[in-house]
Structure 1
């Protein structure tokens, strides 16, 4: 694909996304003139660009579709459900054409002819003869020309298009700069010359600003991925004969584009679950004293160094006793095991677990929620469920803002270097020998708080440390605080995350590696998994001696 065609395709797909968003709003606000104008302008632009590039099939098809909205603009007809439906189906067809070779194939020829016939039927029903149709279609061109003759404002370039490949290259160079700057810091500490120290300090400030600026370029608002979800809720609710209002909040919140790409499928599955399992049919909701229309809210917000996404529905909620009995039947828990509500709900993430009574095309095959958790874990996120029977379910996803560089705390355990993400750290403290002697059942008192702790020297199996002193890093784990006992806290460190090789793929407690300024490698710990595996006692000691 040549550069001009690639740019055309990218812009055309953006126009289709804008139209789809406008149509979904137009469905609930059919008299909104601005929305009609938005759809019409996008169709006209797509038609013109396609004709200019020589893609006659797309140009002709869009020309017919545009004529319908010229009738709407002229107030000769109202926007109706059939018009919305045929337009959405047409946009789907155009997307297929754009993503293929821009021409008709045996696979899409029948769909193309069927849609064209339906569009022309609508146009024919609006006109008395062929001349009125042609005149109406001609009005679209005339009106556009009239708009173009209006006074023009001075063009101001507020943004430019940058290929994703260039952004990826820039981020790669930024990570190399950060690594090099760390190496320079080590050299200046070894050779503390005034001029060298000043230059290194200035470089650190500049590299930090370059890093932050580069990050901001790779962040995209959550609203960029919301339009397909509106369509999903609309179509699936109709298929299941349910009435659902889909509401989005905080979609101006920004995320790393790579994280957002990894979120599409998990969010799609969670929404399908809410539509299929969560929201009841209108008659059932009325019997239970609820409004006929169910409600699903997708909410995004920032808190500290994390972005949170919530999918909340006001449906029937999850039956915890049903989950418990199913788990006992599958041998996941014993009949006498005592689990909290939170622990029970986490069982839905076990591979193959499902409480669905029958298999449908939408859900119930026992696959899905475990994949959701794994996909979210792949982008360094965590997922939790809260549900109240007859009131609804909320799924909360916690995500890092970016995947490439993190602020971390460099620590040493058994002579090896590790990085603890700074976003998880609550406090750090050096422990006296008296405090260590007064520990009981792996708990320690810090600032009048009794805090359970894990001795990483024991858990990260290796040679016993000969260092007499110990330090503790208190991290946040869910709503609790847990201490991690280390040998030395070396200080704050900006870690450039590198993927691990196959040798470490089995280690859930490690999320990546980073190169230190002295050339050594440090593993980045996932504190949540360290704590979970310690308390669950599933894997015993971790063999990480090869990392040192």
Structure 2
């Protein structure tokens, strides 16, 4: 039961995200009846599931909230801003109720009273009842065949049948031909059903009843008739006499012909049953994915050890096997990576809710848009990206977007726009937060930098370098401190978080046109392809994604001088002698290698003693002692057990 309860908590979290997203979409299109139905369906599904797992107070609360939207569905009341606000607050409240199963907070009674006040049915006087609007339903034929292991995670088909009975009038046909001849296993499911339901729900509404178990059963829902045949005695008699599987053809023939002749006629017309393949997706917990990634990481390290051993043995057959293993490990690594990726839209609901609530607190009108929401990133990056993105969005709303009256005076749309744009760039993902606000006052940033001693009046800096001052701790150009921002403790946290993710951040801004904050992030944090290099007999890894070209030069070409420049392919490139940076002893080899790393349009050449090989590195954190160092993003274990640091070329270029 603990496993089933854990599954409920996971599904409940997903349903609350779906509900929050549906309410926000409904706010943007309040006349969309389908969106009202979507909100109602999610609430109805969650209510039944919560009660099934003993969350009765959660089920009762959701029931009253569901009643409000049921009134809206039946045109008993209009959708209002108050209803939408309370619905979003209720989502937060339900999340709290689930987290504290045995504790009902004091605010629960107040929230419940607010929702009951909004329900028309609760406020209609008994002496003047409102006559229900007659709705025309349809007859549906449902084939429901649970898989044999359906009940092993706590699911029960009888609960689903009971929920279907609550949708309208129902008729069941139970099939027992899968029962084994021997002993029955009480954990296995052998029965399956054909179900006739007359209801006002549509196909999507019926399917929502199976939301938790659709991947654990064979399910088909077909419209059978526009009228309620279950009310007709001749049809009920036909169902009683008919001994084969129910089908839409049977019902269609009944409608078109005399019911007495139906049974014989249908046997010839009914097509053979074809199994419907419903295995399109499966749900896996994050813990299992993390374990898989750890195993793949260890496999990559072991494969590196095998390659090293093969090189020392020099056996042709073993070399062929090792090469094949390396190819398979690489394929497995790439597939495991693809499983661990999550779309950016995973965070967009949280951001959309933040923009809605914060814009109201600031008395501003702001719309939030997402472009490229299906762009995927490593789950660990997504998790660590949430807080920096919240800081950026708050700054865009507080400092960027103007008040409606100010925007109108400038000839702008009074409703400001914040756009989250995501796209791939090679092996990186670019995230851009764009706003169409006032932009950044470059002169004020410069004056503040001079005031704090971060720059000198004689300095000649580019716009990019001036905007970088914003990421300095304690830096703020806000004229007053608000609840949202202004204390200068936000953007430095953002910069630190992005750097820890091996990413980059930059700002572009045009006065009265808006600001774009651009994040460049790696696809994954776990494993990288790199070059294994040697510097004074110590091994280092340089990520391949940052490397432009490699050169072999004489050691005399790399010597300390005033400019530290070298000409490569007719272009002057600044270089860094890593021996000097790491204070290595001993004499340089006769020939050294220059590895040219590229960051945006900047190039820097790093001098190393030797390039040993291309290497798949499983990155491990360095720990608390080395968290403040400026040149390595992690470490990896080589095939011989030695440790090699993974160099962060972006940080070295900044230094």
TM-score, normalization: structure 2? Answer: 0.77
Instruction: Quote the offset at 1:307 in angstroms.
Output: 0.8
1:219–1:255 contact (8 Å) kept in structure 2: yes
Instruction: Quote the offset at 1:237 in angstroms.
Output: 1.0
Alignment of 1:395 onto 2:517: yes
CA–CA distance in structure 1, aligned partners of residues 534 and 652 of structure 2: 16
2:305–2:639 contact (8 Å) kept in structure 1: yes
Mean CA deviation greater in 427-436 or 264-273 = 427-436
Q: Out of 467, 471, 474, which is 1:349 matched to? A: 471
CA–CA distance in structure 1, aligned partners of residues 325 and 632 of structure 2: 31
Instruction: Quote the offset at 1:111 in angstroms.
Output: 3.7
SS of the aligned residue for 1:54 comes to: coil
Match runs of 1:12-51 below 5 Å: 12-51=12-51
CA–CA distance in structure 1, aligned partners of residues 449 and 561 of structure 2: 37
CA–CA distance in structure 1, aligned partners of residues 379 and 129 of structure 2: 48
Alignment of 1:521 onto 2:643: yes
Mean CA deviation greater in 376-385 or 37-46 = 376-385
User: 2:450: which partner in 1?
Assistant: 328
User: 2:194: which partner in 1?
Assistant: none
| RMSD between superposed Cα atoms in Å | 2.5
Instruction: Quote the offset at 1:426 in angstroms.
Output: 0.6
User: 2:290: which partner in 1?
Assistant: 168
1:180–1:517 contact (8 Å) kept in structure 2: yes
Instruction: Quote the offset at 1:109 in angstroms.
Output: 3.1
- Over residues 109-149 of structure 1, what are the superposed CA-to-partner deviations in whole Å (9 max), with x where a residue is unaligned? 344344344344x4445x4549968979x999436963549
CA–CA distance in structure 1, aligned partners of residues 596 and 460 of structure 2: 28
Alignment of 1:467 onto 2:589: yes
2:594–2:605 contact (8 Å) kept in structure 1: yes
1:433–1:469 contact (8 Å) kept in structure 2: yes
Instruction: Quote the offset at 1:326 in angstroms.
Output: 1.3
Instruction: Quote the offset at 1:477 in angstroms.
Output: 2.2
Return closer, same or farther for 1:458/1:143 CA change in 2, 3 Å cut-off: farther
User: 2:552: which partner in 1?
Assistant: 430
Match runs of 1:148-547 below 5 Å: 148=206, 152=221, 154=276, 156-432=278-554, 441-533=563-655
Task: Considering fraction of residues, name the structure with more helix.
Answer: 1
- Over residues 378-433 of structure 1, what are the superposed CA-to-partner deviations in whole Å (9 max), with x where a residue is unaligned? 22222111112211111111111111100111111122111111110011121246
Mean CA deviation greater in 110-119 or 38-47 = 110-119
CA–CA distance in structure 2, aligned partners of residues 172 and 16 of structure 1: 30
CA–CA distance in structure 1, aligned partners of residues 220 and 555 of structure 2: 80
- Over residues 48-97 of structure 1, what are the superposed CA-to-partner deviations in whole Å (9 max), with x where a residue is unaligned? 10121121111111111112222222334332222211211211111111
Q: Which runs of 5+ in 2 are unaligned?
A: 138-162, 170-196, 208-218, 223-275
Return closer, same or farther for 1:100/1:130 CA change in 2, 3 Å cut-off: farther
Mean CA deviation greater in 20-29 or 261-270 = 20-29
1:457–1:464 contact (8 Å) kept in structure 2: no
1:86–1:119 contact (8 Å) kept in structure 2: no
Instruction: Quote the offset at 1:438 in angstroms.
Output: 12
The structure, 1 or 2, with the larger RCO (C-alpha pairs under 8 Å, 6+ apart) is: 1
CA–CA distance in structure 1, aligned partners of residues 558 and 454 of structure 2: 38
User: 2:117: which partner in 1?
Assistant: 118
- Over residues 422-456 of structure 1, what are the superposed CA-to-partner deviations in whole Å (9 max), with x where a residue is unaligned? 11001112124685589982222222222111111
Return closer, same or farther for 1:193/1:282 CA change in 2, 3 Å cut-off: same
- Over residues 239-259 of structure 1, what are the superposed CA-to-partner deviations in whole Å (9 max), with x where a residue is unaligned? 211111211000100011111
1:382–1:399 contact (8 Å) kept in structure 2: yes
SS of the aligned residue for 1:101 comes to: coil
1:353–1:366 contact (8 Å) kept in structure 2: yes
Return closer, same or farther for 1:253/1:79 CA change in 2, 3 Å cut-off: same
Q: In the comparison of the two structures, how many residue pairs are matched?
A: 529
CA–CA distance in structure 2, aligned partners of residues 151 and 196 of structure 1: 53
User: 1:543: which partner in 2?
Assistant: none
Q: Which runs of 5+ in 1 are unaligned?
A: 534-548
User: 2:253: which partner in 1?
Assistant: none
CA–CA distance in structure 2, aligned partners of residues 184 and 439 of structure 1: 44
Return closer, same or farther for 1:26/1:503 CA change in 2, 3 Å cut-off: closer
Return closer, same or farther for 1:135/1:11 CA change in 2, 3 Å cut-off: farther
Mean CA deviation greater in 475-484 or 343-352 = 475-484
2:86–2:115 contact (8 Å) kept in structure 1: no
Tell me which structure has the larger Cα radius of gyration.
2
